[in-house]
Amino acid sequence: MSHSPNPYRLAHLAQTAGRNGAALARRTYALFFVLCLGALLCAAPVQAADRAKLEAFLEVTGFGVALDSIALSASDAPAMLGLEKDAFGSSWTSTAQKVFDTELMRETAIEILAATLEDDLLAHAAGFYASPLGLRLVETENASHLDDSGTPYEEGQEIFADLVQSGSERITYFKRMNAAIDSSDTSVRAVQEIQVRFLMAAAAAGVIEMTMDEPDLRAALKADEGQMRRDMQMNSLINTAYVYRDFTDDEVLAYTEALEDARMKTVYDLMNAVQYEIMAQRFEVLAGEMAGLEAGQEL
Protein backbone atom coordinates (compact mmCIF):
# COMPACT_ATOMS: atom_id res chain seq x y z
CA MET A 1 0.00 0.00 0.00
CA SER A 2 1.96 2.97 -1.28
CA HIS A 3 4.46 4.17 1.22
CA SER A 4 2.71 3.21 4.45
CA PRO A 5 5.47 3.54 6.84
CA ASN A 6 8.33 2.65 4.46
CA PRO A 7 9.87 5.91 3.19
CA TYR A 8 13.32 4.79 3.51
CA ARG A 9 12.21 2.57 6.38
CA LEU A 10 11.18 5.64 8.36
CA ALA A 11 14.41 7.47 7.65
CA HIS A 12 16.27 4.24 8.42
CA LEU A 13 14.39 4.01 11.70
CA ALA A 14 15.28 7.61 12.47
CA GLN A 15 18.92 7.01 11.66
CA THR A 16 18.92 3.81 13.66
CA ALA A 17 17.47 5.43 16.71
CA GLY A 18 19.99 8.13 17.15
CA ARG A 19 22.73 5.54 16.75
CA ASN A 20 22.58 4.43 20.35
CA GLY A 21 19.20 4.96 21.71
CA ALA A 22 17.87 8.43 21.22
CA ALA A 23 15.23 7.98 18.49
CA LEU A 24 12.58 5.32 17.41
CA ALA A 25 8.73 5.36 18.44
CA ARG A 26 5.04 6.64 18.98
CA ARG A 27 2.18 6.15 21.44
CA THR A 28 2.91 7.43 24.98
CA TYR A 29 3.61 3.97 26.23
CA ALA A 30 0.38 2.27 25.30
CA LEU A 31 -1.88 5.28 25.76
CA PHE A 32 -1.46 6.82 22.30
CA PHE A 33 -2.50 3.78 20.31
CA VAL A 34 -5.21 2.85 22.78
CA LEU A 35 -6.74 6.27 22.18
CA CYS A 36 -6.11 6.16 18.43
CA LEU A 37 -7.50 2.71 17.79
CA GLY A 38 -10.16 3.23 20.44
CA ALA A 39 -11.47 6.21 18.51
CA LEU A 40 -11.52 4.15 15.33
CA LEU A 41 -13.35 1.33 17.07
CA CYS A 42 -16.00 3.73 18.34
CA ALA A 43 -16.46 5.06 14.82
CA ALA A 44 -16.68 1.61 13.23
CA PRO A 45 -20.05 0.48 11.89
CA VAL A 46 -22.00 -2.47 13.26
CA GLN A 47 -21.10 -4.52 10.19
CA ALA A 48 -17.34 -5.00 10.01
CA ALA A 49 -15.44 -6.29 7.01
CA ASP A 50 -15.28 -10.09 6.92
CA ARG A 51 -12.04 -12.06 6.87
CA ALA A 52 -12.14 -13.02 3.20
CA LYS A 53 -12.52 -9.39 2.17
CA LEU A 54 -9.68 -8.35 4.47
CA GLU A 55 -7.33 -11.01 3.14
CA ALA A 56 -8.11 -9.87 -0.39
CA PHE A 57 -7.62 -6.26 0.73
CA LEU A 58 -4.10 -7.04 1.99
CA GLU A 59 -3.19 -8.50 -1.38
CA VAL A 60 -4.81 -6.05 -3.79
CA THR A 61 -3.57 -2.95 -1.97
CA GLY A 62 -0.11 -4.35 -1.23
CA PHE A 63 -0.57 -3.71 2.49
CA GLY A 64 0.30 -7.33 3.24
CA VAL A 65 3.75 -6.86 1.69
CA ALA A 66 4.16 -3.58 3.59
CA LEU A 67 3.52 -5.52 6.80
CA ASP A 68 6.00 -8.21 5.76
CA SER A 69 8.64 -5.52 5.26
CA ILE A 70 8.50 -4.66 8.97
CA ALA A 71 10.81 -7.65 9.45
CA LEU A 72 13.59 -5.73 7.69
CA SER A 73 13.68 -3.24 10.58
CA ALA A 74 14.93 -5.98 12.93
CA SER A 75 18.42 -5.45 11.55
CA ASP A 76 18.47 -2.00 13.17
CA ALA A 77 17.59 -3.25 16.66
CA PRO A 78 21.09 -3.83 18.10
CA ALA A 79 22.36 -0.45 16.87
CA MET A 80 19.37 1.28 18.44
CA LEU A 81 20.64 -0.05 21.76
CA GLY A 82 24.23 0.96 21.09
CA LEU A 83 25.27 -2.66 20.49
CA GLU A 84 26.87 -4.53 17.61
CA LYS A 85 24.70 -6.99 15.71
CA ASP A 86 27.16 -9.83 16.38
CA ALA A 87 26.79 -9.24 20.13
CA PHE A 88 23.80 -11.59 19.98
CA GLY A 89 25.62 -14.50 18.41
CA SER A 90 24.60 -16.95 15.73
CA SER A 91 21.03 -17.17 17.03
CA TRP A 92 20.24 -13.56 16.10
CA THR A 93 18.84 -14.26 12.64
CA SER A 94 16.55 -17.07 13.73
CA THR A 95 15.38 -15.06 16.74
CA ALA A 96 14.55 -12.02 14.60
CA GLN A 97 12.69 -14.20 12.10
CA LYS A 98 10.66 -15.78 14.89
CA VAL A 99 9.70 -12.42 16.42
CA PHE A 100 8.91 -10.73 13.10
CA ASP A 101 6.88 -13.66 11.79
CA THR A 102 5.02 -12.41 8.73
CA GLU A 103 1.97 -14.62 9.24
CA LEU A 104 1.62 -13.41 12.82
CA MET A 105 1.90 -9.76 11.79
CA ARG A 106 -0.70 -10.21 9.06
CA GLU A 107 -3.03 -11.97 11.46
CA THR A 108 -2.71 -9.11 13.96
CA ALA A 109 -3.50 -6.61 11.22
CA ILE A 110 -6.59 -8.55 10.14
CA GLU A 111 -7.86 -8.71 13.71
CA ILE A 112 -7.60 -4.93 14.08
CA LEU A 113 -8.96 -4.16 10.62
CA ALA A 114 -11.91 -6.48 11.16
CA ALA A 115 -13.07 -4.18 13.94
CA THR A 116 -12.10 -0.84 12.46
CA LEU A 117 -12.20 -0.80 8.65
CA GLU A 118 -15.60 0.11 7.25
CA ASP A 119 -16.79 -1.83 4.23
CA ASP A 120 -17.25 1.25 2.07
CA LEU A 121 -13.71 2.44 2.79
CA LEU A 122 -12.30 -1.03 2.08
CA ALA A 123 -14.18 -1.13 -1.22
CA HIS A 124 -13.00 2.34 -2.21
CA ALA A 125 -9.30 1.63 -1.59
CA ALA A 126 -9.43 -1.86 -3.07
CA GLY A 127 -11.26 -0.54 -6.12
CA PHE A 128 -8.54 1.99 -6.88
CA TYR A 129 -5.68 -0.47 -6.43
CA ALA A 130 -7.49 -3.02 -8.63
CA SER A 131 -7.57 -0.51 -11.51
CA PRO A 132 -4.93 -0.73 -14.29
CA LEU A 133 -2.94 2.12 -12.73
CA GLY A 134 -3.42 0.74 -9.24
CA LEU A 135 -2.15 -2.70 -10.23
CA ARG A 136 1.04 -1.21 -11.66
CA LEU A 137 1.51 0.93 -8.58
CA VAL A 138 1.14 -2.01 -6.21
CA GLU A 139 3.59 -4.13 -8.19
CA THR A 140 6.15 -1.32 -8.04
CA GLU A 141 5.52 -0.53 -4.38
CA ASN A 142 5.71 -4.18 -3.32
CA ALA A 143 9.17 -4.44 -4.87
CA SER A 144 10.31 -1.25 -3.13
CA HIS A 145 9.08 -2.40 0.29
CA LEU A 146 11.29 -5.48 0.20
CA ASP A 147 14.41 -3.83 -1.26
CA ASP A 148 16.84 -3.39 1.62
CA SER A 149 19.95 -2.87 -0.52
CA GLY A 150 20.27 0.90 -0.14
CA THR A 151 20.28 1.29 -3.92
CA PRO A 152 16.83 2.96 -4.05
CA TYR A 153 18.01 5.72 -1.73
CA GLU A 154 21.25 6.34 -3.62
CA GLU A 155 19.55 6.44 -7.01
CA GLY A 156 16.64 8.37 -5.56
CA GLN A 157 18.99 11.14 -4.47
CA GLU A 158 20.20 11.53 -8.06
CA ILE A 159 16.68 11.47 -9.47
CA PHE A 160 15.44 13.99 -6.92
CA ALA A 161 18.40 16.33 -7.56
CA ASP A 162 17.65 16.25 -11.29
CA LEU A 163 13.98 17.05 -10.62
CA VAL A 164 14.96 20.01 -8.46
CA GLN A 165 17.39 21.32 -11.07
CA SER A 166 14.79 21.09 -13.83
CA GLY A 167 12.04 22.63 -11.71
CA SER A 168 9.82 19.60 -12.26
CA GLU A 169 6.20 19.73 -11.14
CA ARG A 170 6.64 16.15 -9.88
CA ILE A 171 8.20 17.48 -6.67
CA THR A 172 4.95 19.28 -5.87
CA TYR A 173 3.01 16.07 -6.57
CA PHE A 174 5.35 14.08 -4.32
CA LYS A 175 4.92 16.55 -1.46
CA ARG A 176 1.14 16.38 -1.82
CA MET A 177 1.29 12.58 -2.01
CA ASN A 178 3.36 12.26 1.15
CA ALA A 179 1.13 14.72 3.01
CA ALA A 180 -1.94 12.70 2.01
CA ILE A 181 -0.61 9.35 3.24
CA ASP A 182 0.36 10.87 6.60
CA SER A 183 -2.54 13.31 6.89
CA SER A 184 -2.51 13.13 10.69
CA ASP A 185 1.25 13.91 10.76
CA THR A 186 1.95 10.95 13.01
CA SER A 187 5.10 9.41 11.53
CA VAL A 188 7.57 11.33 13.70
CA ARG A 189 5.63 10.58 16.87
CA ALA A 190 5.37 6.97 15.74
CA VAL A 191 9.12 6.60 15.35
CA GLN A 192 9.68 8.25 18.72
CA GLU A 193 7.16 6.07 20.49
CA ILE A 194 8.43 2.80 19.04
CA GLN A 195 11.86 3.74 20.30
CA VAL A 196 10.62 4.51 23.80
CA ARG A 197 8.75 1.24 24.01
CA PHE A 198 11.74 -0.73 22.70
CA LEU A 199 14.29 0.93 24.97
CA MET A 200 12.12 0.63 28.05
CA ALA A 201 11.42 -3.04 27.27
CA ALA A 202 15.13 -3.69 26.70
CA ALA A 203 15.99 -2.04 30.01
CA ALA A 204 13.30 -4.02 31.85
CA ALA A 205 14.66 -7.24 30.33
CA GLY A 206 18.22 -6.41 31.38
CA VAL A 207 19.56 -6.08 27.83
CA ILE A 208 20.78 -2.55 28.57
CA GLU A 209 21.11 -0.31 31.60
CA MET A 210 19.25 2.97 31.23
CA THR A 211 20.89 6.06 32.67
CA MET A 212 17.75 8.15 32.18
CA ASP A 213 14.13 7.56 33.09
CA GLU A 214 11.25 7.55 30.61
CA PRO A 215 10.33 11.26 30.97
CA ASP A 216 13.96 12.25 30.35
CA LEU A 217 14.12 9.94 27.33
CA ARG A 218 10.98 11.50 25.89
CA ALA A 219 12.39 14.98 26.50
CA ALA A 220 15.58 14.05 24.64
CA LEU A 221 13.56 12.74 21.70
CA LYS A 222 11.41 15.86 21.70
CA ALA A 223 14.50 18.04 21.50
CA ASP A 224 15.54 16.24 18.30
CA GLU A 225 12.05 16.22 16.78
CA GLY A 226 12.55 19.11 14.37
CA GLN A 227 15.62 17.61 12.74
CA MET A 228 14.02 14.17 12.66
CA ARG A 229 10.96 15.57 10.89
CA ARG A 230 13.11 17.31 8.28
CA ASP A 231 15.20 14.17 7.72
CA MET A 232 12.13 11.97 7.36
CA GLN A 233 10.43 14.38 4.95
CA MET A 234 13.52 14.53 2.75
CA ASN A 235 14.00 10.75 2.85
CA SER A 236 10.36 10.34 1.91
CA LEU A 237 10.72 12.63 -1.12
CA ILE A 238 13.87 10.82 -2.24
CA ASN A 239 12.19 7.44 -1.83
CA THR A 240 9.10 8.60 -3.71
CA ALA A 241 11.17 9.99 -6.57
CA TYR A 242 12.82 6.60 -6.98
CA VAL A 243 9.75 4.39 -6.57
CA TYR A 244 7.65 6.27 -9.14
CA ARG A 245 10.47 7.05 -11.58
CA ASP A 246 8.88 5.02 -14.39
CA PHE A 247 5.43 6.61 -14.09
CA THR A 248 4.44 9.62 -16.18
CA ASP A 249 3.64 13.02 -14.70
CA ASP A 250 -0.04 12.46 -15.48
CA GLU A 251 0.00 9.09 -13.68
CA VAL A 252 1.75 10.55 -10.64
CA LEU A 253 -0.82 13.36 -10.54
CA ALA A 254 -3.69 10.87 -10.85
CA TYR A 255 -2.28 8.86 -7.94
CA THR A 256 -1.77 12.00 -5.88
CA GLU A 257 -5.38 13.03 -6.38
CA ALA A 258 -6.56 9.51 -5.49
CA LEU A 259 -4.58 9.64 -2.24
CA GLU A 260 -6.03 13.07 -1.42
CA ASP A 261 -9.58 11.70 -1.44
CA ALA A 262 -10.96 11.91 2.11
CA ARG A 263 -11.88 8.22 2.08
CA MET A 264 -8.35 7.19 1.10
CA LYS A 265 -6.87 9.43 3.79
CA THR A 266 -9.01 7.70 6.40
CA VAL A 267 -7.83 4.30 5.15
CA TYR A 268 -4.21 5.40 5.33
CA ASP A 269 -4.61 6.81 8.83
CA LEU A 270 -5.85 3.39 9.91
CA MET A 271 -3.18 1.48 7.97
CA ASN A 272 -0.45 3.62 9.49
CA ALA A 273 -1.81 3.14 13.02
CA VAL A 274 -1.99 -0.62 12.50
CA GLN A 275 1.50 -0.88 11.02
CA TYR A 276 3.14 1.27 13.68
CA GLU A 277 1.41 -0.62 16.47
CA ILE A 278 2.54 -3.97 15.08
CA MET A 279 6.09 -2.65 14.74
CA ALA A 280 6.06 -1.41 18.35
CA GLN A 281 4.67 -4.72 19.62
CA ARG A 282 7.28 -6.75 17.76
CA PHE A 283 10.16 -4.60 19.03
CA GLU A 284 8.94 -5.04 22.60
CA VAL A 285 8.86 -8.81 22.13
CA LEU A 286 12.30 -8.69 20.50
CA ALA A 287 13.71 -6.94 23.57
CA GLY A 288 12.68 -9.88 25.73
CA GLU A 289 14.17 -12.37 23.29
CA MET A 290 17.45 -10.43 23.17
CA ALA A 291 17.81 -10.86 26.92
CA GLY A 292 18.10 -14.59 26.41
CA LEU A 293 20.86 -14.16 23.84
CA GLU A 294 23.19 -11.66 25.48
CA ALA A 295 23.02 -9.18 28.36
CA GLY A 296 24.07 -5.73 27.31
CA GLN A 297 25.82 -2.54 28.18
CA GLU A 298 25.06 0.75 29.84
CA LEU A 299 23.16 3.22 27.67
CA atoms of 24 and 10, how far apart (whole Å): 9
CA atoms of 134 and 2, how far apart (whole Å): 10
Query: In angstroms, what CA-CA distances link 114 with 41, 50, 52?
Result: 10, 7, 10
Average pLDDT over residues 124-143: 96
Stronger pLDDT, 85 or 139, i.e. the higher one: 139
User: What long-range pairs does 249-258 form, CB within 8 A, spacing at least 24?
Assistant: 249/168, 249/169, 249/170, 249/173, 251/133, 252/170, 252/173, 252/174, 252/177, 253/173, 254/133, 255/133, 255/137, 255/177, 256/173, 256/176, 256/177, 256/180, 258/128
Q: Which among 245, 194, 249, 187 is positioned nearest to 217, based on CA atoms?
A: 194
Average pLDDT over residues 278-298: 82
- pLDDT value of residue 294: 55
CA atoms of 75 and 84, how far apart (whole Å): 10
CA atoms of 268 and 1, how far apart (whole Å): 9
The overall pTM is greater than 0.85: no
Measure the N-to-C terminal CA separation of the chain; round to a whole number of Å: 36
- pLDDT value of residue 46: 37
pLDDT digits (tens, 9 = 90+) for 149-172: 778 888 999 999 999 999 999 999
Percent of the chain past pLDDT 70, that is, above it, reads 82
- pLDDT value of residue 58: 96
Least trusted range by pLDDT, from 4-8, 250-254, 271-275: 4-8
- pLDDT value of residue 49: 63
Average pLDDT over residues 192-210: 92
- pLDDT value of residue 80: 86
pLDDT digits (tens, 9 = 90+) for 177-192: 999 998 777 888 898 9
Query: In angstroms, what CA-CA distances link 110 with 67, 104, 199?
Result: 11, 10, 27
Sort 287 into a burial class: Cβ within 10 Å, 0-12 / 13-18 / 19+.
Answer: buried
Average pLDDT over residues 29-46: 41
- 288, 77 contact by CB (below 8 A): no
CA atoms of 177 and 256, how far apart (whole Å): 5
